Structure 1
Amino acid sequence: MHIEMTDIYKAFGQNQVLSGVSFELLEGEVHALMGENGAGKSTLMNVLTGLHKLDSGTIKVNGHDKYFSDPKEAEKHGIAFIHQELNIWPEMSVLENLFIGRELSTKLGFLNNKKMKALANAQLHKLGVSLSLEKEAGLLGSGQQQMIEIAKALMIDAKVIIMDEPTAALTDKEVTKLFHVIQSLKKNGVSIIYISHRMEEIFTICDRITVMRDGKTVDTKKISNTDFHEVVKKMVGRELTERYPERHPKLGDVVFEVKNASKKRVFENISFHVHAGEIIGISGLMGAGRTELMRAIFGLDPLDRGELLINGKQANIKKPSDAVQKRIGFITENRKDEGLILDTSIRENIALPNLVSFSPNGWIDQKREHEFVDLLIKRLTIKTNSRDIQARSLSGGNQQKVVIAKWIGIGPKVLILDEPTRGVDVGAKREIYQLMNELTDRGVAILMVSSELPEILGMSDRILVIHEGKLSGELLRKDATQERIMTLATGGQSYENTNG
């Protein structure tokens, strides 16, 4: 399928989101669509698939003008959109999710479960995924849920698949499987629009790249004719001299310690400490227990046994409010469901953990609250026209900044960051990294869980690697390499260094 979008304009009220964007997709190509959060990428794809009606411009499909009335019509014509925020029905089974809205029936009008199971198993097998079709989708990990979404798109016999951050929740092994599937689809003439902030993936899997900035098309090139630095410069409109800012940590005393933390069948006997001003990177494969350990530290899930110490004194943390009271913040990996209240304002989200400080007499001092929120919006360069618009209306990267802002507001001693830059563009990533440096300069201790090894290597002072619920090793920054981390993460020989 050949798609041409020419001179596309789209505004929401006074906010001009797309200003003369042009984009072309050739048959059987993987075309990267890149730009900072808020550049207009998702809006352009929503215009293509009929979710938003364009204000002006032309869309041609195989040489003919074509404007879809809604995403369902686009799907019927072979265009599938896998969104960054997964469209999973958690209480339904895997099979029900795969066929929702397009169930197969027998001649007598009954559900044809046998045929649906056969088709589902065949598609999952192509993806190299083994899942129980009867299992509730909500009980699956993020990576498995993402593979369900990909399988759904493939099952409609799509000619064009739009993938928005498709690997954000996948393990390296699952990413490799996905890339094999993409190559197979290409050979069969299927076109892929690939939206990702993971630059390494773009140069691995894509044929051409279109860069957008501030609602405009900046350039389209063959991947072979460009490089990382040129793409970044076009995305942000400036040079980013270093991907990761330099760190010159000045470590203070141990502020937080975990002793023999255990949770049955999840993690066992994990002990570590973190100094004031230190960033500890926590690495490991998906399912190793990294996130579960952080949730337990914050009081979201109970520990079976173990101790938590703050400044050498035992800390009784049974629920999140206990952690907040002790000035521990937690930026979860799932900002949509756990990090934000999407239907409330930016102001309410940022102020929520800090209401006590604005309410000395039981009444909220709105002037103090507004000054506080505005300061954080400015400091984190959150792109918004007002503190009072819904968090839902922001791009993914700006939503992440709101989550970070609300926890910075408590003046944390310890800040847990779980996948802090997932789905965030390269310019916003740099801003988050600089903010991490500023926080550690003020003595904040940071625990950073990340699946991106370059991020772990670029920002950590020490690295803890977890394998199957156990601490398999510890590396100092100077000793760490991707190979050493992956060796520990897969249960191989330990390169342990415990000079913390």
Structure 2
Amino acid sequence: MEALLEMRGITKAFPGVKALENVNLKVEEGEIHALMGENGAGKSTLMKVLSGVYPHGSYEGDILFNGKACEFRSIRGSEQQGIVIIHQELALIPQLSIAENIFLGNERSARGIIDWNETTIRTKELLQTVGLGDSPQTEAGSLGVGKQQLVEIAKALSKDVKLLILDEPTAALNEEDSENLLRLLLEFKKKGMTSIIISHKLNEIMKVADSITILRDGRTIETLDVRADEITEDRIIKGMVGRDLTHRYPEREPSIGELLFEARGWTVSHPLQPDRMVVDGVSFEVRRGEIVGIAGLMGAGRTELAMSIFGQSYGKRISGQLFKEGKELKLRDIPQAIDAGIAYVTEDRKEYGLILDEDIKRNTTLASLKSISKWFVVDDSREIVEAEGFRKRMNIKTPSIHQKTGNLSGGNQQKVVLSKWIFTGPDLLILDEPTRGIDVGAKYEIYTIIHQLAEQGKGILMISSELPELLGMCDRIYVMNEGRFTGVVPRAEASQERLMKYMTGKGDTP
């Protein structure tokens, strides 16, 4: 096959760091080409160079598309050639309809007047192509994340796309939506479309990719031909991290102590539908030094349970009892929960975990400013010392604690979120999807930190959608379905099949 795209010797620097150094990428026409690497390896930066987000002149090297040299100075320039990128953060405007979002900036018009009839007809055609049955007039904000991702793809198709770039397209999707999207990519491939997919999910890449290019530390390591070679997940991991991860989860000898935390009959109603219970009479316990997992399908109530415990930050008509070391807790707000020694690491670090425009220093100390303040004034020197200590201890890859957190890779952002909550000195850490959207190397580092916290005698309550992660990390696993616990499984008896049985409601309430 002929190469549709060639990127040669791409070098891109930012103040204090070289993001890309002499990177080469070759994509054949009609293939699905995966771009893989650890967080901060340069994958998204390379695609932003290609799509004109970083314009010609801001990088070194050459881009050839369809055999012609290209010098894109904006996204519009690359789109005119048929190169369309869908970023990890969806860019739909919630208040506009599906049709308005799809043709925003690319309006169907005659003599400067929008032709709404043509817009609606074309939108229906595009929605049919991506398998979405919603009306073109539906507000984008009313759709779930999976459907919004399909609208983004329909928007890309409206621009006569020749090369579709998807940056972590399934990061926020459940398993069913992820499968649908991967099937759609394979359908596009049958029709001759070329795609580049950036993903950390090895199993998904193995399903759809024809070729895999691996980046590490801003350099091209290798390109693997999945069609010709026997490529395994372990082989890809070795290329990404530069070493074998024989054990994806650090070894640990648990040292489980006395009862630390207990919930009894915990019940929570939906904040907008008070007659609908999202957590229904749940009881559980966590001991010191213990890592306790919560498994469940999307909508089972796992996050709602965690947030309601954390100072009633979710829900209405909350009832039940919470105990810490035998004493009952009354936690009416988040400051009370923090004072009681409870921390909650949210599943959405960008929206709720961090202030992306603030630096690492401020984000690290934000949840416990009083501990570095005197007479309500923050001691800058102490703040710097504490933040620098966490930077080294957590191995946050950054030249300075004055770096904005929004400029960090996902794995390093997650380390800052963990630093923030560890700084509060908690006894119980509730970790909601602690490794979502980060690569295998960064995951291993996060797992090691979780083990260290457990060794210090802290209790860990860990929510995850990845069953292998729960099986590899947890001492016991509670399984949730429709707001209730349907089973509790000790590590020695746990398997994916048994957990899935309970997750689909076929277990016995513990």
TM-score by length of 2: 0.91
| Aligned twin of 2:437 | 423
Other structure's SS at 2:343 match: strand
| Aligned twin of 1:325 | 339
What is the distance in 2 between the residues matched to 1:380 and 1:202? 29
Q: Following TM superposition, by how much is the alpha carbon of 1:129 offset from its aligned partner in structure 2, in angstroms?
A: 4.1
CA contact (8 A) 1:484 1:495 kept: no
Q: Which residue, out of 14, 17, 21, partners 1:15? A: 17
| Aligned twin of 1:247 | 252
Q: Which residue, out of 62, 66, 69, partners 1:62? A: 66
| Aligned twin of 1:410 | 424
| Aligned twin of 2:380 | 366
Do the aligned partners of residues 111 and 281 (structure 1) sit closer, same or farther apart at CA in structure 2, a change above 3 Å counting? farther
**What is the identity, as a one-letter code, of the residue corresponding to 2:297?**
L
CA contact (8 A) 1:74 1:80 kept: yes
Identity of aligned residues (%): 45
Q: Which residue, out of 174, 182, 202, partners 1:199? A: 202
Q: Which residue, out of 452, 462, 465, partners 2:466? A: 452
Other structure's SS at 1:336 match: helix
Other structure's SS at 2:113 match: coil
**What is the identity, as a one-letter code, of the residue corresponding to 1:32?**
A
Other structure's SS at 2:347 match: coil
**What is the identity, as a one-letter code, of the residue corresponding to 2:67?**
G
What is the distance in 2 between the residues matched to 1:253 and 1:290? 25
Other structure's SS at 2:378 match: coil
What is the distance in 1 between the residues matched to 2:133 and 2:482? 19
Stretches of structure 1 lacking an aligned partner (at least 5 in a row): none
CA contact (8 A) 1:48 1:67 kept: no
| Aligned twin of 1:178 | 181
Do the aligned partners of residues 214 and 122 (structure 1) sit closer, same or farther apart at CA in structure 2, a change above 3 Å counting? same
Other structure's SS at 2:350 match: helix
CA deviation profile, 1:148-181 (whole Å, cap 9, x unmatched): 3333323333221111111111121112111210
Stretches of structure 2 lacking an aligned partner (at least 5 in a row): 271-275
Q: Which residue, out of 77, 81, 96, partners 1:77? A: 81
Q: Following TM superposition, by how much is the alpha carbon of 1:430 offset from its aligned partner in structure 2, in angstroms?
A: 0.1
1:306 aligns with 2:308: no
| Aligned twin of 1:262 | 268
Other structure's SS at 1:178 match: helix
| Aligned twin of 1:355 | 369
Do the aligned partners of residues 359 and 288 (structure 1) sit closer, same or farther apart at CA in structure 2, a change above 3 Å counting? same
CA deviation profile, 1:136-156 (whole Å, cap 9, x unmatched): 444544334333333332333
Q: Following TM superposition, by how much is the alpha carbon of 1:110 offset from its aligned partner in structure 2, in angstroms?
A: 4.4
| Aligned twin of 2:499 | 485
What is the distance in 2 between the residues matched to 1:106 and 1:470? 56
| Aligned twin of 1:154 | 157
CA contact (8 A) 2:268 2:308 kept: no
Do the aligned partners of residues 477 and 135 (structure 1) sit closer, same or farther apart at CA in structure 2, a change above 3 Å counting? farther
What is the distance in 1 between the residues matched to 2:231 and 2:282? 45
Do the aligned partners of residues 326 and 71 (structure 1) sit closer, same or farther apart at CA in structure 2, a change above 3 Å counting? same
CA deviation profile, 1:360-417 (whole Å, cap 9, x unmatched): 3332222221111111111111111111121111112211111111111111111111
What is the distance in 2 between the residues matched to 1:20 and 1:495? 57
Q: Following TM superposition, by how much is the alpha carbon of 1:126 offset from its aligned partner in structure 2, in angstroms?
A: 4.2
Other structure's SS at 1:398 match: helix
Other structure's SS at 1:194 match: strand
CA deviation profile, 1:262-281 (whole Å, cap 9, x unmatched): 21433322222222222222
What is the distance in 2 between the residues matched to 1:365 and 1:345? 16
What is the distance in 2 between the residues matched to 1:360 and 1:13? 35
**What is the identity, as a one-letter code, of the residue corresponding to 1:226?**
I
Q: Following TM superposition, by how much is the alpha carbon of 1:284 offset from its aligned partner in structure 2, in angstroms?
A: 1.6
Question: 198-207 or 68-77, which moves further after superposition?
Answer: 68-77
**1:465-484 correspondence to structure 2 within 5 Å:** 465-484=479-498
Q: Following TM superposition, by how much is the alpha carbon of 1:57 offset from its aligned partner in structure 2, in angstroms?
A: 1.1
**What is the identity, as a one-letter code, of the residue corresponding to 1:17?**
A
Question: 262-271 or 203-212, which moves further after superposition?
Answer: 262-271
Q: Following TM superposition, by how much is the alpha carbon of 1:323 offset from its aligned partner in structure 2, in angstroms?
A: 1.5
1:98 aligns with 2:102: yes
Q: Following TM superposition, by how much is the alpha carbon of 1:495 offset from its aligned partner in structure 2, in angstroms?
A: 6.2
What is the distance in 1 between the residues matched to 2:296 and 2:127? 25
Q: Following TM superposition, by how much is the alpha carbon of 1:81 offset from its aligned partner in structure 2, in angstroms?
A: 1.1
CA contact (8 A) 1:7 1:21 kept: yes
Q: Following TM superposition, by how much is the alpha carbon of 1:342 offset from its aligned partner in structure 2, in angstroms?
A: 0.7
**What is the identity, as a one-letter code, of the residue corresponding to 1:174?**
D
Q: Following TM superposition, by how much is the alpha carbon of 1:442 offset from its aligned partner in structure 2, in angstroms?
A: 0.9
Other structure's SS at 2:374 match: coil
What is the distance in 2 between the residues matched to 1:138 and 1:318? 31
CA contact (8 A) 2:13 2:20 kept: yes
CA contact (8 A) 1:86 1:146 kept: yes
Other structure's SS at 1:423 match: coil
| Aligned twin of 1:394 | 408
| Aligned twin of 2:284 | 272
What is the distance in 2 between the residues matched to 1:137 and 1:36? 32
What is the distance in 1 between the residues matched to 2:146 and 2:342? 28
What is the distance in 1 between the residues matched to 2:145 and 2:300? 14
Q: Following TM superposition, by how much is the alpha carbon of 1:116 offset from its aligned partner in structure 2, in angstroms?
A: 3.7
**What is the identity, as a one-letter code, of the residue corresponding to 1:233?**
K
